[in-house]
Structure 1
Amino acid sequence: MPSFLRRGTLLRLLSVGLALVMVSSCAVRTDQITRDPNSVRIAVNNWVGYEASAEVLAHILREEMEYEVQLVRVDEQPSWQALDQGVMDVILENWGHDDLFELYGPEGNGTAVDGGPNGNEGVIGWYVPAYLAQEYPEITTVEGLKENTDLFRTAQTGDSGEFLAGAPGFVSQDQGMINAFDLDLQMVYAGSEAAQITEVRRRAANEEPVLFYFYDPQWFQEEIDLVKVDFPEYYEGCDADPEFVDCDYPVYELNKIFRAGFVEHDDHAYRFLDNWTWTNSDQNAVARMIADQDLSPPEAAEIWVDENREIWEEWLPEGYEDRR
């Protein structure tokens, strides 16, 4: 999520009415923070699929359940720190951050709780456009790719092929894969999800070669036909050395992470978020309205909610009407 963003270090808060103050781990703990029982604070990591999930849930919490909702834009790692400090209630889309769960979960600080699957299956990998795979079918295998890295040469990479990465903070083992499989590729960072999509779209319009990091759920998968490069299947420990990774990415069963105090309070907002699951297609539908159809996130969420009542009514907890 893309990720997806394991090593992000910059905290960016764009919420209204919420100041996130990071304090030391020896200071205030989650159970010492007073939470407004009528308010829910949701972390929003910076990729559009996550934003789609957050906006839909916020719309239902506000309009159907009469909660105040604060959507807080924050990178992945700082969102765990915020949850640990008691100023965030939920992370909606966790991309396999075992290191962070070890630090903040039951075996660590005890401030984070695994909320179970959110219904999305996360797939990260290397992709090429289908038109390129049709012309050079061998490049969808490791050996075929190794023999054809010259296809991806650019002025920036010289004699080496270009591997178009997303942003430096994304969950990534790409350099380790380049090293392990002895691929003559140089990583070039697009800088963001949006910038990467723009560049891939530009090259696809001219049917130019491009090899890039990408993932699902992602609405762009429905616009351009992409083919995933086939690497040896992930096995436990194959990514232990980030400089030498001789396997593909694992498939992530994306899950929710709750603040322990939010779970203990066990109110209707928690039960609603605990009940919530939806599919990659659901998320992609909302994300595409935001990213490709110039709708604001709240507008896209409202459209999806209006058209899919039979889905989200299943998330509503028993007795939620009593608080209205």
Structure 2
Amino acid sequence: MLRHLLLSAAVALPMALAGGNAGAVESNDPIKLTLHDWTGQLITTRIMGSVLQKAGYNVEYVQADYLAQFAGLKTGDLHVAMEIWETTGREAMDEATATGQVENLGETGMQAIEEWWYPTYVKEQCPGLPDWEALADCAELFSTAETAPDGRYLGGPVTWGGFDEERVEALELPYVVVHAGTDAALFAELESAYQRKAPILLWIYAPHWAPIKYEGEWVAFPPYEKACYEDPAWGINPDLTHDCAKPRGPIWKVAWKGVAEKWPGAHEAIQAFHVENDEMGRMIAAVDLDGRPVEAVVEEWVSANESRWKPWIGQ
């Protein structure tokens, strides 16, 4: 079953040698941390993995689908997922934890925003923004040869979820959702449009460097409430759900229930993990804008923050 969940084969890493404490670990079996397809999650996960290695744990990184990974977490084929966003992953997380096979290990310290976004210069041609109702009148502005006369909304990769198609239908917006193939492709298209001052409407998220580098705004949809996603009678459209904004809130850590019993020290360390939006945004920028390897940025953070992470592993 797991074979169908994974996007690529697992990459096993040996136990840390320098600074390791292998004699104190509860099991030498590898702790499998999932990797996804956006830079921030790679950084978060490798920071946690590096810290666990410092404590002597054997760590294995496994490339996995963001939402489909929960099947592996339930069975124990996967062990830890370091970023479950309130904005897009809450339903899958709640379903998994309700089974008793997956445990919520608390907040990462980062606060998530994922929403439709446009550059500020677009408001000159669509002055009703950021009110979502202005999008209907400005659809032609955002149209392409493929979508005309409808506008185009550039969403994230399909695996991210987000309910954009449902939102378009529920709010009766004349737009076609086109998904970027990768995180890099999403922001490459934004850069190209921004340089040309071309209209673009797309998925932007934080923590990330994009809302810092580019001047723009998130679209103001009807405020999110849980009922919006569950009860068609809620909101503007009495027949459909998702007629509201996406939720905002914490980015969570989750684990297979067996982690607490098999690797209790690692379990405590993962619970203690904490970084915040600003520092994560800077690290993402170092990778995406400055071209530095993820591993180098992580190593720099670990070296500079011993006083923060050593207490996570009882040192």
TM-score relative to the length of structure 2: 0.84
- Alignment-mate amino acid for residue 259 of structure 2: F
Q: Is the 8 A contact 2:84 2:93 kept in 1?
A: no
Q: Write out per-residue CA displacement over residues 239-286 of structure 1, whole angstroms, 9 at most, x where no aligned residue.
A: 236964221001132111111111123532221111011111222222
CA distance in 2, matches of 1:268, 1:198: 41
Q: Write out per-residue CA displacement over residues 145-200 of structure 1, whole angstroms, 9 at most, x where no aligned residue.
A: 22212111211112111111122222222222222322221112222211111111
Q: Which residue of 2 aligns with 1:100?
A: 92
Q: Within 5 A, what are the aligned runs for 1:78-97?
A: 78-96=68-86, 97=89
Q: Which residue of 2 aligns with 1:68?
A: 58
Residue 10 of structure 1, CA deviation: 4.8
Give yes or no for the alignment of 1:57 onto 2:48: yes
- Residue identity over aligned pairs, in percent, reads 22
Q: Which residue of 2 aligns with 1:179?
A: 169
Q: Which residue of 2 aligns with 1:270?
A: 267
Q: Which blocks of at least 5 consecutive residues in structure 2 are unaligned? A: 14-25, 233-238
Among 94, 108, 124, the residue aligned to 1:118: 108
Give yes or no for the alignment of 1:196 onto 2:192: no
Task: From the superposition, tell whether residues 130 and 311 of structure 1 become closer, same or farther in structure 2 (CA, over 3 Å).
Answer: farther
CA distance in 2, matches of 1:231, 1:98: 19
Task: From the superposition, tell whether residues 276 and 170 of structure 1 become closer, same or farther in structure 2 (CA, over 3 Å).
Answer: same
Give yes or no for the alignment of 1:312 onto 2:275: no
- Alignment-mate amino acid for residue 142 of structure 2: F
Residue 67 of structure 1, CA deviation: 2.4
Residue 103 of structure 1, CA deviation: 4.4
CA distance in 2, matches of 1:166, 1:43: 19
Give yes or no for the alignment of 1:214 onto 2:209: no
- Alignment-mate amino acid for residue 193 of structure 1: D
Q: Within 5 A, what are the aligned runs for 1:277-296?
A: 277-296=274-293
Among 4, 7, 19, the residue aligned to 1:12: 7
CA distance in 2, matches of 1:194, 1:297: 14
CA distance in 2, matches of 1:200, 1:163: 12
Q: Which residue of 1 aligns with 2:296?
A: 299
Residue 74 of structure 1, CA deviation: 0.6
Q: Is the 8 A contact 1:166 1:191 kept in 2?
A: yes
CA distance in 2, matches of 1:104, 1:160: 37
Structure 1 SS opposite 2:267: helix
Q: Is the 8 A contact 1:44 1:73 kept in 2?
A: yes
Residue 134 of structure 1, CA deviation: 5.4
Q: Which residue of 1 aligns with 2:148?
A: 158
- Alignment-mate amino acid for residue 183 of structure 2: E
Q: Which residue of 1 aligns with 2:195?
A: 205
Q: Which blocks of at least 5 consecutive residues in structure 1 are unaligned? A: 1-8, 19-34
Q: CA RMSD in A?
A: 2.4
Residue 143 of structure 1, CA deviation: 2.4
CA distance in 2, matches of 1:74, 1:267: 24
Q: Which residue of 1 aligns with 2:236?
A: none
CA distance in 2, matches of 1:162, 1:89: 38
Number of aligned pairs?
Answer: 291
CA distance in 2, matches of 1:99, 1:310: 35
TM-score relative to the length of structure 1: 0.82
Q: Which residue of 1 aligns with 2:248?
A: 251
CA distance in 1, matches of 2:229, 2:44: 29
Among 198, 219, 239, the residue aligned to 1:229: 219
